[in-house]
Amino acid sequence: MKFAILVNEGPYQHQASDSAYQFATAALESGHEVSRVFFYHDGVNNGSRLTTPPQDDRHIQKRWSALAADKNVDLVLCVAACQRRGMVDDGERDRNKKDATNIAEGFRISGLGQLIEAGIEADRLITFGD
């Protein structure tokens, strides 16, 4: 089965990101495909490379980045949600004349069309968070 995942909550305010990650890894280990994870609303904060949790805490962003690298999962951050929350990649930095970027490896910024496409192409779109 081909899954697409929508994450609507930030990494440390809600269990949605942890649950989505656990679902994605379990699905992949069971032989299913996870074509795309779309991060929306506060969920885009999962893609910040500046996150530095305490040493004894889980590093959610690194988990997602490793999943993208190891399993070729497309991690997409909503551009409008990113703009509202100060999330910037190279393209947005240049377009908005910012002096830095903060998107973690394996993530990319794009529009809601990526969510629509993922929902159309997948057998199931699973949502985590409100």
Q: Which whole-number Å values give the CA distances from 98 to 50, 68, 118, in the listed order?
A: 16, 26, 30
Q: Which residues pair with 7 in a beta bridge?
A: 39, 128
Half-sphere exposure of 19 (CA within 13 A, CB side): 14
Residue 89 neighbours by CB under 8 Å, 6+ apart: 101, 103, 108, 109
| Annotated active-site residue in 34, 78, 81, 122 | 78
- Is 78 a catalytic site residue? yes
Instruction: Report the catalytic residues.
Output: 78
